[in-house]
Amino acid sequence: MENQNDTAITPGMQEYINQSDRIRAERTNYINSEVKKWRFDTIAVHGLYSVQDALNFHQGAIIEPAFLSSSQAYRDSDEMAAALAYKIPTWCYSRIANPSTYYYEWTLALLEGYGFSGETSCCSTSSGMSAIFSAVTPFLTVKRRDEPINFVATAQCYGGTFQQFTVRLMKERQIECRWVVDATDIDEWASKIDGNTRFLYGELPSNPQLGFFDIAQVADLAHSHELPLIVDSTIATPALLRPLCHGADIVVQSATKSLTSSGFGICGAVISRKPITANLEEAALRDDFAFNIKLLQNRDLGPNLHPMQAILTLNDIRTLRSKMDLMSRNTMQVAKFLQDHPKVERVEYLGLKNHKLHELASKYMWLVDAEHDELYQKPVNRYGHLMSFCVAGGIEPARRFFDSLQRIWRATDLGRIKSVATIPAISTHQQQGEEARKMAHVPGNMVRLCVGAEHPDDIIADLDQALHKA
Ligand SMILES: *Cc1c(COP(=O)(O)O)cnc(C)c1O
C-alpha cells in the first residue's frame, strides 16, 4: 500500500501547506476544546459541521450540503501538486475525498470514539461489506505467493461476512479463516492463533443469533500477540456500545442498518483508534489506519461512499440515541410476549434475563448518556432492536407464521424504523448451506425480527394473529 510520493516541495506549495496547517490546527483545537466536551446527542446532531464552517465555506447552509461535484478545481499548479501529494487537505476527486463524506466520517469517528480517551478516525465506504473488505485487506498482504496466512473470526456472523471470508478469501485466495464456534470461550480463541495469524475478527451482537463475547478479554488476547481486534458493531450502533473504548482497534459498521434507520440507501464505515496494535510494516497504517486506507488503499480500489448518501445518513444519525432507546424498549416488550407464547420455542434476545449471554451483554450494552437523561438519571442497559426466535413445530409452521404477518414487513433487512422480519435460512444465510448454518446456530425455523418505532401493542397483535396461523 505504498504511496509513490516523490513530489518536490516548491515555495508556492509551501505557502499552501502553511495555510492548511493553520486550518488543521484550528480544527484540532475546535475538536478538543469544544466537540469532545459535548454529550453524544450534540455530536450526533452537529458533528464537525459548525456555524463557522457554514458561514466560511457553505453559504450559511444550516444542513451539511450534498457536494455532488466529482472533483475540485485548483487555483494553480502549486495547489494542485500539494493536494495530490496529500500535503494539504483536499477534495481532489470524489472517489478519494468529498466535503459531504468528510462530515459523515467525522460524525462516525466522534460517536464511536465517545468516551474513548484517544483519537479516532473514519473511512466511509459504499456498504458494510466494503467496510469489512477495506478493514481486513491491509492485513492480508504476502511477500511470497505461497505464504500461509490466517485470521480468526466468530462463526456467528452476518451471512454476507461468512461468504466474503469463506468464498472470496478462503476459496479464491487460500487465506485461512479459523472460525471460533463458542466466542465466549477465550481458550478457543487462543488455540486458533499462531505465528501466521494476521488479525482477530468478531461480530457482536451477531446477526441473527445474538452471539456475544467479552471484548476486553479478546482485545487483550489479540494485543498479547501484537494483533488487532476488528469488531463489527452494526447491531449495537455507538448509541449502545463503543468497542474502541473496550480495547478493540478497528470497528466496522454497516451504516445501512440502524444508523440509517429510514432505509434510504446502503453505506458503511471503518473507524479506528490511533494508533492500532498491528504487526504492519507501514507506520502510517498503524498510526492512523482508517484515514490512510481511505487515502491510499481505497483510492486504488474505489469502494467510496456517494456524497448524497452521506447526507441522508447524517440526517438519520442525529436522533440515533433516542431511536435506539425507544426501539430497544419496544423490542424488550415484544421479546417478553414471545417468550411466553406457546407457539414459540425459543427467543434469542440479550435483554431477557434468562438468556445465557444476558449477564455478559449487560456488562457492555448501555444506553449512552442515560445518566445525563432526565428520564433515567442513572446508567441503563439497552440491548438493541434485533431479536430472533424459533417457531414451534419446525420449518412449515415458521413459514405459515411468516406468510401471515400483516403489519411487519417480510424483507431481508434490519435496523429500520419499521418492523421487519426474515427467515435467515432462506435469505441472509441461504448461500452458506446447511452445515455452516448449523455451526452458526441458524435453524430453518428461526425468524429474525427487528422491531421498529411503531407502538409495540400493534406489533404484538400482528405477531399474535400470525402465530395462531402457524
Ligand atoms: C448488513 C450487515 C453487513 C453488511 O452491510 P451492507 O451495508 O449490507 O453491505 C455487515 N454486518 C452486519 C452485522 C450486517 O447486519
**Taking 70 as the threshold, does the pLDDT of residue 2 lie above it?**
no
Q: Closest Cα to residue 269, out of 455, 81, 134, 404?
A: 134
DSSP 340-380: T-TTEEEEE-TTSTTSTTHHHHHHH-B-TTGGGSTTT-S--
Residue of minimum CA distance from atom 2 in ligand 1: 254
Residue 61 alpha carbon to ligand 1 centre in Å: 32
Read off the amino acid at residue 40: F
- Residue 124, helix vs strand vs coil: strand
Residue type, 208: P
pLDDT band of 168, cuts 50, 70, 90: very high
Three-state secondary structure of 191-255: HCCCCCEEEEEEECCCCCCCCCCCHHHHHHHHHHCCCCEEEECCCCCCCCCCHHHHCCCEEEEEC
Grid cell at residue 173? 485466495
Q: In the structure grid, which three cell numbers stand for residue 290, read together?
A: 482508517
Taking the C-alpha atoms of residue 246 and residue 360, their distance in angstroms, rounded to an integer, is: 14
Ligand 1 atom 5, closest CA: 128
Take atom 1 of ligand 1 and give the residue whose Cα is closest: 254
C-alpha cell at 121: 478516525
Residue with cell string 495555510: 19
Q: 2.60.120.10, 3.40.640.10, 3.40.50.450, 3.40.50.10810: which CATH number matches 11-317?
A: 3.40.640.10
Average predicted confidence (pLDDT) for the chain: 95
Only one residue has cell 464505515, namely: 269
Strand, coil or helix: 24: helix
Ligand 1 nearest-atom number relative to CA 266: 7
- 208 Cβ inside 6 Å of ligand 1: no
Which is the closest atom of ligand 1 to the Cα of 428? 1
SS3 call for 388: strand
Q: What is the mean pLDDT of residues 232-254?
A: 98
275: preceding bond cis by omega (within 30 degrees): yes
pLDDT band at 444, cuts 50/70/90?
very high
The residue-averaged pLDDT of 218-232 equals 98
207 pocket-lining for ligand 1 (C-beta < 6 Å): yes
- Which atom of ligand 1 lies closest to the CA of 256? 7
Give pairs for 60-64: CB < 8 Å, separation 24+. 63/311, 63/315, 64/99, 64/100, 64/103, 64/310, 64/311, 64/314
- The alpha-carbon radius of gyration of the chain (Å, integer) is 23
Residue percentage of the chain with pLDDT more than 70: 99
Which phi and psi angles does 277 have, rounded to 5°? Answer: -85, 120
Query: In the predicted model, is pLDDT for residue 121 greater than 80?
Result: yes
Residue 434's Cβ-count burial label (10 Å; 0-12, 13-18, 19+) is exposed
Report pLDDT digits (tens) over 40-70.
Answer: 999 999 999 999 999 999 999 999 999 999 9
Phi-psi region of 10 (alpha: psi -120 to 50; beta: other; left: phi over 0): beta
- Max CA pair span of the chain: 78
Residue that has been written with the C-alpha cell 438519571 in this structure: 377
For position 440, what pLDDT does the model report?
75
Is-above-0.75 flag for pTM? Answer: yes
Q: How far apart are CA 375 and CA 373, in angstroms?
A: 5
* 347 pLDDT above the threshold of 50: yes
pLDDT tens-digit readout, 355-401: 999 999 999 999 999 999 999 999 999 999 999 999 999 999 999 99
Q: Please, how many CA atoms are within 13 Å of residue 348, restricted to the half-sphere of its CB? A: 24
Residue 129 Cβ inside 6 Å of ligand 1? The answer reads yes
* Backbone angles phi and psi of 16, in degrees to 5: -65, -40
CA 140 to ligand 1 centroid distance, Å:
21
> Do residues 260 and 323 lie in contact, with contact meaning Cβ atoms separated by under 8 Å?
no
Q: How far is the CA of 376 from the centre of ligand 1 (A)?
A: 32
Q: How far does residue 252's CA lie from ligand 1's centre (Å)?
A: 9
Burial of 122 (0-12, 13-18, 19+ CB in 10 A): buried
Can you tell me whether residue 231 is helix, strand or coil? strand
The answer to whether residues 336 and 89 touch, using CB atoms and an 8 Å cutoff, is no
Q: Hey, where are the domains in the chain?
A: 11-317, 320-467
Q: Which residue has the cell 502510517?
A: 284
Q: Give pLDDT, residue 1.
A: 40
In single-letter form, the type of residue at position 123 comes to: C
Res. 337: pLDDT tops 50: yes
Instruction: Give the closest residue to 136 by CA, choosing from 247, 260, 280, 241.
Output: 280
On the CB side of 281, how many CA atoms lie within 13 Å of its CA?
Answer: 6
Reported confidence tier of residue 419, pLDDT bands at 50, 70, 90? very high
- Asked if CATH classification 3.40.50.300 holds for the domain at 320-467, the reply, yes or no, is no
